[in-house]
Structure 1
Amino acid sequence: MTLNSAARESPALSSTDLHAAATVVDGSTVIELSDAHLDRIRRGGVTAVNHTVTAPYANTTTALREVNRCRRWIDAHADRAMLALSVADIERAKAEGKEAVILGPQDTEMIGVDLDLLGTFYDLGVRILQLTYQRQNLLGAGCGEDVDAGLTHKGRIFVAAMNELGIAVDVSHCGQRTGLDAMEASSTPVVVTHSFCDAKSPHIRAKSDAFLRRLAEQGGVIGITTLSGFLYHPDEPTRRPDLTRFVEHVHHVVEVAGVDHVAIATDYDETLTEAMRAEQLKDKEFKSLLGDWKWEERRAIGMDDAGSFPNFTEALLAGGFSPADVTKVLGGNWLRVFGEAWSPAGR
């Protein structure tokens, strides 16, 4: 990628036209099952979202109920939404002007190490699955643990089963060693659906340059979030980040890993209310994780909600990315890695 090459490549192409032509994917979000959500998605030109369909640490029964609730909502809104089980489904959603919902739980505790249950969740539509959420479980360590002993023996068996079924392995909240072990164990590219660069904004949830280089070697993709607590400026920690800061993180991934390995993931929870947020901030661990940002400042300037997605295209073009590379970051890289992870050999 050459800075300021966008104008030279296609001087007549507007950011609006580029955004409309691209298949835009949000690599991680919690969607509100409502018409208001669908309106935001349409306004933002978003084709597909990776939806955290079950709350972290949910038990099996609760997780099954949450998956069922989401499936019934999709069925009831078939004119505007559809379940994404393949890249072809996402492409069809783009062609038909619908939202493709990918089911992507951020935890495996509802499954444990029961591979029959893993198959059941696959049959119900799960296509992305995060191995751990902050803490240690039967598969490996979360990034919130003081000690990360890596992927367990059961974890390696579990990853192999995910590969065989065609579920993308997500290591966003995993500890570094557990994430690296997952890349070693997985026969398909591993994804970091929502994170950011430790070199730019040091944090237990961020990924190091060494991690990013290995991710690229393995063919994976990292989605850069736009939460203020993650894109913070170390030298000005109270300064609210904007989309220029997001682009800085994207540039860093490109420099370290290449443009084929970075994408977008807002990490927004549409179901969160201001009152719920106030309760969360009473927890010291949570407060240290996301920072003590005011409700109206919790998200980066320029990305208030899914309706603001065209601002990503404008910011990436302004940051010197070519139209072809912007298309990759908006969703093309997600489509490539999903296609590889969801298409196991022999199927």
Structure 2
Amino acid sequence: MNTAVTEIPANQATELHAAATVVDGSTVIELSDAHLDRIRRGGVTAVNHTVTRPYADTVTALREVNRCRRWIDEHSDEVLLALTVADIERAKAEGKEAVIFGPQDTEMIGVDLDLLGTFYDLGVRILQLTYQRQNLLGAGCGEETDSGLTHRGRRFVQAMDELGILVDVSHCGERTGLDAMEASAKPVVVTHSFCDAMSPHIRAKSDGYLRSLGEQGGVMGITTLSGFLYYPEAPSRRPDLARFVEHVSRVVEVAGIDHVAIATDYDETWTEPMRIAQLKSIAQSKSKEHQNLLGDFGWTERRAIGMDDAADFPNFTEALLKGGFSPADVTKILGGNWLRVYGQTWKPA
């Protein structure tokens, strides 16, 4: 891969993007027509949707899953629930959006393996073990101490393997994430993160971690939140998609081209007043879990230049081509790598 800026022929990016199966590896979607319009304009086929909020109790989580399923049912001409890779392929063929259910926490389940099976039956196909803090399975990255995956956590991971749920360790502490890779017989993923060597952060992943992820067959999705792609030498400078490509290139250098993808980590339900309140809370917090999570970027600068919302997804293709990636490698990054790891984990139709 050539890191120099490359001139690309007219229409190459447009044609490549249209042909690819494009996947957003982690996002929170707004259940609205506006969301569907953004997805359509962005040429996105599938999204991993955080269908339940972190730290939700069981009843709340079930209600959130039910609400999303009813919305999908009501928009079946435009959306489908992705339970298999074949569903995503069908969505691409029919011009629909495939929604993957991927909660970012297990606290609504605890260690109840029967309840884990219930959430599988309801459509969950990706599940993050912890969200920032310690739970019954392991430690989140916001904890001062990470003692790794618990005994129950190991059994939980094995049960996920048996059911066909992809193990996500994005917000896990490093030791917990590495333990999950060891416990799982199938690839483990970091659905949304970035490189600690470039943008140090409690949510970022080290080079050693990325090597282990690649050796285990996993994939990491690179986010485009400004506070995560920040420049250490100029932390208030808003990053752009060239910075995103730099993080992608780092993963490729360390782990290989088959182990990197896209995950915007955008929350379409977030509002400006909510962001203002969050910044105040972070400024007042003494907790490692809450400090420096998303930087201090304001509402209009919270996302990387060139990727304001899902409608801008074609800009990823152009930026990757300009960054020197071949069309075949761009296709992998846009969604091919996600499809591979889904296929290795999920049960076929």
Aligned with 2:207 (options 206, 209, 227): 209
The question of 1:225 aligning with 2:213 is answered: no
Tell me if structure 1 keeps the 8 A contact 2:230–2:239: yes
Q: Residues 114 and 302 of structure 1: is their aligned pair in 2 closer, same or farther, counting only changes over 3 Å? A: same
1:35 aligns with: 33
SS in 2 for 1:29: strand
Does residue 322 of the first structure (1) align with residue 326 of the second (2)?
yes
Q: CA deviation at 1:343?
A: 3.1
- Which amino acid in the other structure matches residue 45 of structure 2? T
Indicate conservation of the 8 Å contact 2:29/2:269, yes or no: yes
SS of match in other structure, 2:317 = helix
Contact 1:6 1:322 in 2 (8 A): no
Question: How far apart are 1:12 and its partner, in Å?
Answer: 7.6
Partner amino acid for 1:74? I
Q: Alignment partner of 1:193: what SS?
A: strand
Q: Which residue of 2 aligns with 1:343?
A: 347
Q: CA deviation at 1:224?
A: 0.1
Question: Within the alignment, does 1:299 sit opposite 2:303 as a pair?
Answer: yes
Please give the secondary structure, in 2, of the residue aligned with 1:288: coil
The one-character-per-residue Cα deviations of 1:112-137 (angstroms, maximum 9, x if unpaired) are 00000000000000000000000000
Deviations 1:53-98 (A, max 9, x none): 0000000000000000000000000000000001000000000000
Gaps in structure 2 of 5+ consecutive residues: none
Q: Distance in 2 between matches of 1:94 and 1:288?
A: 38
Which string of whole-angstrom CA distances, capped at 9 and with x for unpartnered residues, describes residues 258-279 of structure 1? 0000000000000000011111
Cross-structure match for 1:250: 248
- Does 1:309 pair with 2:317? no
Aligned to 2:141: 143
Note if contact 1:108-1:131 (Cα within 8 Å) is conserved in structure 2. Answer: yes
Q: What does 1:166-177 align with in structure 2 at a 5 Å threshold?
A: 166-177=164-175
Query: SS in structure 1 opposite 2:280?
Result: coil
Alpha-carbon RMSD across the aligned residues, in angstroms, is: 1.5
Matched, 1:82 2:80: yes
Amino acid at match of 1:72: R
The aligned amino acid for 1:146 is: E
Contact persistence 1:280–1:287 (CA under 8 A): no
Matches within 5 A, 1:107-186: 107-186=105-184
* Whole-Å separation in 2 of the counterparts to 1:44 and 1:147: 41
Structure-2 separation of matches of 1:12 and 1:71? 41
- Structure 1 residues 20-31: aligned runs within 5 Å: 20-31=18-29
Maintained 8 Å contact 1:5/1:322: no
Looking at structure 1, the residues matched to 248 and 301 of structure 2 have their Cα atoms a distance apart, in angstroms, of 21
Matching residue of 1:187: 185
Between 1:254-263 and 1:10-19, the stretch displaced more is 10-19
**Structural mapping, 1:234-313, within 5 Å:** 234-284=232-282, 285=285, 286=290, 288-313=292-317
Which secondary structure state, in structure 2, belongs to the residue aligned with residue 290 of structure 1? coil
| AA matched with 1:270 | E
| One-letter amino acid of the counterpart of residue 277, structure 2 | E
How far apart, CA to CA, are the structure 2 residues paired with 1:107 and 1:12? 43
Is this contact kept in 2: 1:4–1:322, CA < 8 A?
Answer: no
Q: Between the two proteins, what is the percent identity of the paired residues?
A: 80
* 1:224-270 CA-partner distances (Å, limit 9, x unpaired): 00000000000000000000000000000000000000000000000
Task: Work out which of the residue numbers 96, 101, 104 in structure 1 matches 2:102.
Answer: 104
TM-score, normalised by the number of residues in structure 2: 0.96
Once residues 135 and 261 of structure 2 are traced to their aligned partners in structure 1, the CA distance between those partners, rounded to angstroms, is 28
In structure 1, runs of 5+ residues without a counterpart are: none
**How far is the alpha carbon of 1:289 from its aligned partner?**
1.0
